[in-house]
Structure 1
Amino acid sequence: MRIAMLIDLFYPYQLGGAERQFYELAKRLAKRHEVHVYTLRLMGREREEVHEGIRIHRVGLAHPLNKRSILALLSFFPFALIALLRDLRKFDLIHANQVAGLLSFFLWPSKRPFLVTIHDLYLGKWESFAGFPLALAGRILEQILSRGIYSCVLTVSRYSARKLLLLGAKRVAVVPNGIEIKAYGSRRKENLVVYVGRLVKYKHVDVLVKAMSKLKTKVKLIVIGEGEERARLELLARQLNVDVSFLGYLDEIEKREVLARAKVFCNLSSIEGFGIAVVEAAASGAAIIVRDLPCYREYLSEGSAVFLSDEEANDAEQVARVIDELLKDEEFRSSLAKKASEDVRALDWDFVSERIEELYRWCLE
C-alpha cells in the first residue's frame, strides 16, 4: 500500500499520545508499505527527510520544537492541502490525525479512502477551561470534525466512540493506543510520585502539587511535560515549599528511566480519551492513581489502580491520603502495580499497528 498520513506535528516533536501514536504506526507500516507523512515544518529540520523508512514532507511556517505556535499550526492546513493535491495520485489511501481530518471535505472528489483518528472530544467540558468565544468555537469544530467525509473514524476507546456517535460520526472503529512493552521495566523504586502530560487546567496538576504539602511521608514529585500552566505551577510549588521538579519534555529513554524509579504515578485529569502515560507508568511498575474516567476502566481492572471520584480527585487532602497509604504499605502498592502491569501487556504497538492495517485493507476493498 501507498499511504499518506496527515498530522500537524510529527517526529521529532513529541507533545503527547497523538504524535506518539502516528510515529509508532508510521514506523511499523513503513517496513511493509510506502508511507509518506505530511506535517508542519520544524525549526532546524530539513523540509524533506527519510526517517526509519518514513518519507517526511514538512510544509507551512516553521514551528519551534516542543512549543506551541498557533500561527504556524494554522499554516499547516492550506500548505498540506496543496502538497497533497499535488501528490494525490501516488497514494492508495489517506490517514489524518484529529483536525487534519477537516481536509476530507476538500479531498473527497478523489474517491480515495480517507480515515481519521479522533482521540477524544471535549463536548460539554469546553467551558471548564476556555472562555466563551473559544468554547463555542471548540464545540462547533467538534461537530464539523465528527461529520467529515470519512471511510472510517478511528478512536482509542469505547468511551470516545460513544461521544463521536453522539455527534453523528459514522463507521467508528475502536483501536487503543499502545506502547513498546519490551522497552519498559521496573527498577529499584524510590519515593517518587510522577506525572506525565500536558500542563493545562483540565489536567489538575495544581491539586497534585497542593497534595505534596499535605503528605506525611517524605516524597518528591516529578512533573514531565509542558503547557501554559507551567509558570503558575512552579510558583505554587515555591509558595508551598514542596519538593517538585519540572523537567519539561523528556525523550523516550529519559522518560522511561524516571518512570522505572517511580513508586506512584498520579493523573487527575478530568478529560482523557485513553491516557497513554498511564499505560507507560503501569508497564514500569508504578502504582496508579487516576480520576475514575471510563477510558481507564477499558484496560485497568478492579484492584489494579486507585480510582478517585471527582470529589476526591479535586481534593488535595484526599489525594495526599492515598499517596501516603501507598508509600507506607508496600505490599498494597506492589499488588496494585503488579496487576496494572499485567493488564497493559496486550497494549503493544505491534498489535495496534496490525489492527489499523486491517482497517486500511477493509477500506480499500
Structure 2
Amino acid sequence: MKYIFSSPYYLNKRATGANKRFERVLYELQDKYDIGIVVAKGEVPLDVSPSVTLYEIPLFIANRRLLTFIYLNILYLYFSLFKNILISDFNPIPVSMFFSKRQFQLIHDTRIFDNFGRWDKLSSMFMKFQWKHVKNKVVVSQFTKDRLCKELSIKESSVIVSYNGVLPSDFDVSLNKDKAIDLLYVATFEERKNHINLIRALANIEERLIVTFLGKDLGMKAVIEEEASKADRHQITFLDSVSENELADLYQNSKIFISPSLYEGFGMPILEAYAYGCKVICSDIFVFHEVLGSKATYFNAEEVSSISRTIEESLSSFSNFKDQKVIVPNHFHWEVISEQLISDIDSLLFKKV
C-alpha cells in the first residue's frame, strides 16, 4: 500500500509553513513506508530518497490552475483504482476525493470563515461546499477542526488533526548568546497579519529598537513600509526571502518574536521561534494558546497600547527569560507527527471498511 502526498504548488526553495510540512513529513516517512509524491516538474524536495515514487506535473500544466485541476482528476482517479492512500492540499478538490475513502484533503486553515481569504464570495461558497462533502480531511490544529465541524456541520470522525512541528535539532541550547535583534516578525505581508497595528505600537515606544520583518508580499508591503517610515526612531529592516539556515540565524539572534496576527490555522513561526530560544509574544487567539500555552505572553492585537506595553515589558524582563529551558512537547516533533498521521489514517480507514 502506497502513501502519496500531493502538493502541486510546493516550491523547494521557499520556506513557507505548507512547504515545510510537506518536506518534513516526507523526510520522516520516506525510508519507512512505500511513499509517492506529486509535485510540479523541477520542484522535487532536495533530500528526497531514491525509494520515493515521483509523479511530476509538466510545467505547461502546473503553471495553469485549470489544467492542473484536470490533470489531477485523472491522476487521482488512477490512484484510487490501485487503492493507494492520498493526502492532497490542492484546491479546487478533484472529483475522486468525494468518493474515495482512501483520499484525504489537507486543509491548512479556515480563514474563509473570517473574510481573510483571497477569494471572492462565489469561490468561498464553492470551497465550503467542497470541504463539507469531501470524504476525509486532515487539518493542522484542533482549532481548525472545531471551526470546520461547527461551520459546516461535519462529522468529527472524518477530520484528523495532524499538527505542524519542529525538529529536535532546531532547539537552541545556547539561550545566553548575545542577540542583536530586539524584535522579529515572520509573516506574509497581508491584512490578517496585522503589521500596521504593530508598527503603530512601535511608534509609542521611546527606546530605539532593532526590528526585522520577514515575509512575502501579498499586496500590503508598500502600505506597511509607508507606515514604518513614521516610526523612524527604530531601525526597521524588511526581508523578502531567506534560506532555512538564514531563518535559523534570525531566530537565534532575536530577543523577542512577535506575532500580532488576527487569524492563523496553526502559527508555525511562533513554535519555531520558541524552539530557537526567542521569547514569544503574540495575539490572544485560540490557536496560539493551543500551540504554546503558558510558554508565550499574549496581548490584544486590536489594541495598539496592549501591543506596545507587552513589547516593553518583555524586553525589560528578557534577562530573566534567558535562563529558561526550551521544552517542546513530543506531539510537536515531526517524527511523532508523521507516524501519528499514518496511524490515524489507518485507524480511520479500518473503521470505515
Paired amino acid for 2:8:
D
Q: Where does structure 2 lack aligned partners over 5 or more consecutive residues?
A: none
Task: Note the alpha carbon deviations across 1:100-140, whole angstroms, 9 max, x for none.
Answer: 6x11x33555x4501122122124421x676xxx4423531
Q: Classify 1:49/1:264 alpha carbon distance in 2 versus 1 (closer, same or farther; 3 Å).
A: closer
Distance 1:323 1:184 in 2: 24
Question: 2:138 matched to which residue of 1?
Answer: 154
Structure-1-length-normalised TM-score:
0.83
More displaced stretch, 73-82 vs 281-290: 73-82
Task: Note the alpha carbon deviations across 1:291-331, whole angstroms, 9 max, x for none.
Answer: 111112223233x222112xxx1233432222122112234
**Aligned to 2:225, which of 229, 234, 247?**
234
Distance 1:254 1:359 in 2: 35
Question: 2:255 matched to which residue of 1?
Answer: 263
Q: Classify 1:99/1:34 alpha carbon distance in 2 versus 1 (closer, same or farther; 3 Å).
A: same
**3-state SS in 2 of match to 1:289:** strand
Conserved? CA contact 1:282–1:344, under 8 Å: no
The 5 Å alignment of 1:126-165 reads: 126=115, 134-150=119-135, 152-165=136-149
Root-mean-square deviation (CA), in Å? 2.9
Distance 1:284 1:268 in 2: 19
More displaced stretch, 83-92 vs 173-182: 83-92
Conserved? CA contact 1:92–1:112, under 8 Å: no
**3-state SS in 1 of match to 2:184:** strand
Question: 2:163 matched to which residue of 1?
Answer: 176
Distance 2:103 2:196 in 1: 40
Question: 1:316 matched to which residue of 2?
Answer: 304
Paired amino acid for 2:210:
K
**3-state SS in 2 of match to 1:266:** strand
The 5 Å alignment of 1:37-186 reads: 37-41=37-41, 45=42, 51-53=48-50, 54-59=52-57, 61=59, 72-86=64-78, 89=81, 92-97=84-89, 99=91, 102-103=93-94, 105-107=95-97, 111=100, 113-126=102-115, 134-150=119-135, 152-166=136-150, 167-170=152-155, 171-185=158-172, 186=175
Give aligned pairs, total: 341
**3-state SS in 1 of match to 2:293:** coil
Paired amino acid for 1:165:
C
Distance 1:292 1:47 in 2: 37
Q: Classify 1:250/1:349 alpha carbon distance in 2 versus 1 (closer, same or farther; 3 Å).
A: same
Conserved? CA contact 2:284–2:298, under 8 Å: yes
Percent identity between matched residues is 18
Deviation (angstroms), 1:8? 2.8
**3-state SS in 2 of match to 1:254:** helix
Task: Note the alpha carbon deviations across 1:260-308, whole angstroms, 9 max, x for none.
Answer: 1111011111111211111001101111111111112223233x22211
